[in-house]
Structure 1
Amino acid sequence: MADVANTGTIHDIGYQRYTGQRLGRGHAVRSLYVYSFRTVFGMGRSAKAKIFPFSVAGILLVIAVVAAAVKAQFKVEIPQLSYVDFPGTLSFLLVLLLAAVAPELASRDLRNKVLPLYFSRPIGRDDYVLAKLAALVTAVSLILAVPLFVMFLGGAFSGSGLSGAWGQFTDFLPGLLNAVIYAIVLSAVALLIASLSSRRTIAAGAVVAVFLVTTPISGVLQVVGTETMRQLASLFSITGILSGLRNWLFGGSAEPAIGSFGPLYAGAAVVLVALCTALLVYRYRKVAS
């Protein structure tokens, strides 16, 4: 029987080496940031994905227009809708928004098992976390900043003159800073919770549950506790920490009464954001690649 030689054939099917510019890690992180920011608003996806974020943004804008109209017409400011109180008064809408969009940023990638593609190169796990968090913070800040700016325009052009416009501006800046603080703290907490489950509905429910469970605890302590306990009670609620910090930094409404514990509320907010960010990084370092 004759020997049969093993033969092979090389076919040229047109593959070529990449000769273009290699943009590197920075470009990859920026691209992920932009993509995540667009995801918050449902851009590049179906119309259904756009309904809730734009509905929440629209509601906040309508409330701001009403507040600005009341101020311009009657020269009266609604206390709960002042610049610094606006995010706190409508924080329940922000929680619902985060419950809807945070799982889109975290849970979907876990469910679809695409993280190994992200982490292949050049983007790192820490880059992934920080880009997602920065995009969410930016989106929430923008959703709050637009209504505040509308309120500022309504107050500045209500016929109060240059001095009145300057007074509105000096009130607007603390309100804008407070909005960014709310965005940072709420986004860090929501994204961490969402990253713990690959199922979007479970992650959304968990986000709402964490905020809802902590609020009654604070309320009970304010009712049954001593004067000192009432001043510290808001530390047991995420939104309470933000309200206490707002009162210490900017004044705002009288509630909650925090006494001389303002620095403690500031420290609690910083620790909360740092802890959530660290746990997010730890979470994604443990995700199998």
Structure 2
Amino acid sequence: MPAQTDTLLRYRPWRGTLRGPGWAALAMARSSLLLMARRRLYWGLFALVLLVFFFFFYGQYLVAWIPGQVGDSVLVAGVKVPVTNFTKFLERLNLNGTAHTFGNLFWFEGYVVVILLALAGSVLVGNDFHHGSLPFYLAKPIGRWHYVLGKCLGIGAVINLATTAPAVVLWLEAGLLNDWKTYYLDNLNLLAGVLGYGLVLTVCLSLLVVATAVWVRQTVPMVMVWMGVFVLMRMLAGWVVDGLRADPEWRLLDLWNNLYLVGMWCLQVDPATVRPQPQPAYWQAAAVVVGVCVGCCLYLRRRVQAVEVIG
């Protein structure tokens, strides 16, 4: 009788594969990226990211191409401008394929990334707490930390698309503009430094985005908190160190500068060449970054565990 019923109802045996909670985290990261892709504002911010990247991309090309292709001057708007003056600004950005090239790229891309993450945090995480969606997620066979991991993976993908991927392309271009066999073999440490810099940004900023979004939940407070952390604290640190001539340790108030210092350590840059000077030691900046990550994890542990699961 059961066999006849299965035949009549045309039941088919299960042939799928049961996935673990880790796959749910990946699916949550994918849904987070799709949610951001549906909003035009984020595409506009990514356009600014590409604008910064193309400036470095073509600037590096011009620095390598102009001296061998033109004379002592170039014609700009009918006025002859010396080549040295024309490339002076580009040379200040060290567009020559060295560690400072990638450090400057990460630094300037960061201005757009901070705005992008401040707006994305409330959409990807804050709304789950504000509208009560988190208990629905946790009622599924996934753990609380799988939820946090999924959100961090989605945010980390955005960070790497905006910073690490352009830096890798810039490294490849630098090799093509020089003796590529020698450059690629001699500068593998730069590629490792770029990946390390991206990993530091991914871990710290993704945890900070999720923790801040859990705390304030809505977009406007989220933007205000992030502007306070990355703009006001930077202005305060610069005023104390550069204006009042205080100890360089006061720059540790500037989280983005701390991430920059850790990234320059990954790129094996001499601390004396990092600008602006003076700067705290690399280990001090790394200690602040680790402290921020640990604080975010402890806060998320307390808030996420406090959510009552339905079912």
TM over 0.5: yes
Q: Distance in 1 between matches of 2:254 and 2:176?
A: 38
Aligned to 2:79: none
CA 1:96 to 1:180, structure 2 compared with 1: closer, same or farther past 3 Å? same
CA distance in 2, matches of 1:72, 1:56: 25
**Is structure 2 residue 298 aligned with structure 1 residue 278?**
yes
In the alignment, the residues of structure 1 paired with residue 112 and residue 58 of structure 2 have an alpha-carbon distance, to the nearest angstrom, of 17
Structure 1: how far apart are the matches of 2:150 and 2:288?
A: 24
1: CA distance between counterparts of 2:155 and 2:147?
Answer: 13
> Among residues 203, 212, 215, which one is paired with 2:234 in the alignment?
215
* 1:114-144 deviation per Cα after TM superposition (whole angstroms, max 9, x unaligned): 1111010211222111221132123202221
* Count, aligned residues: 268
Whole-angstrom CA distance in 2 between matches of 1:132 and 1:243? 24
1:125/1:285 contact within 8 Å kept: yes
Taking a change above 3 Å as real, the CA distance of residues 181 and 24 of structure 1, as seen in their structure-2 partners, is closer
- After TM superposition, list the pairs within 5 Å mapping 1:77-226 onto structure 2: 77-79=91-93, 82-225=101-244
246-255 vs 27-36, greater mean Cα deviation: 246-255
In angstroms, what is the RMSD of aligned CA positions?
A: 2.9
Match of 1:239, SS state, is helix
- 1:10 corresponds to which residue? none
Give the TM-score, by structure 1 length.
0.80
Q: In structure 2, what residue type is equivalent to 1:64? A: F
Q: How far apart in 1 are the matches of 2:282 and 2:63? A: 30
Which region of structure 1 is more displaced relative to structure 2, 201-210 or 247-256? 247-256
Given the alignment, which residue of 239, 245, 258 partners 2:256?
239
Taking a change above 3 Å as real, the CA distance of residues 27 and 189 of structure 1, as seen in their structure-2 partners, is: closer
1:66 to 54, 58, 74: 58
Change in 2 beyond 3 A, CA 1:161/1:52: closer
Gaps of 5+ in 2: 1-8, 68-89, 96-100
CA contact (8 A) 2:200 2:263 kept: no
Q: 1:255 and 2:269 equivalent?
A: no
Q: Which moved more, 1:19-28 or 1:128-137?
A: 19-28
TM-score (norm 2): 0.75
Distance 1:67 1:206, change over 3 A: same
How far 1:100 moved relative to its partner? 1.8
- CA distance in 2 between counterparts of 1:161 and 1:129 reads 41
145 and 246 in structure 1: CA distance in 2 versus 1, 3 angstrom threshold: closer
* 1:234–1:244 CA contact under 8 A, matched in 2: no
Q: Give 3-state SS (helix, strand or coil) of 1:83's partner.
A: helix
Alignment deviations for residues 234-254 of structure 1 (CA, whole Å, 9 cap, x no partner): 111111212333444432633
The residue identity in structure 2 corresponding to 1:25 is: P
Over 3 Å counting, the alpha-carbon distance change for 1:118 and 1:151 in structure 2 is same
Specify which of 25, 29, 32 is matched with residue 33 of structure 1: 29
How many percent of aligned residue pairs carry the same amino acid?
18
Residue identity matched to 1:192: A
Going from structure 1 to structure 2, the CA distance change for 1:274 and 1:25 (only over 3 Å counts) comes to same
Amino acid paired to 1:66: Y
1:198 offset after TM fit, Å? 3.1
Residues 133, 256 of structure 1: alpha-carbon distance in 2 compared, 3 angstrom cutoff: farther
Q: 1:216 to 1:50 in 2, by over 3 A?
A: closer
Instruction: Please identify runs of 4+ aligned residues in structure 1 that moved more than 4 A.
Output: 18-21, 74-78
CA distance in structure 2 between the partners assigned to 1:125 and 1:49 by the alignment: 30
Asked if structure 2 preserves the Cα contact closer than 8 Å seen for 1:87 and 1:182, the reply is: no
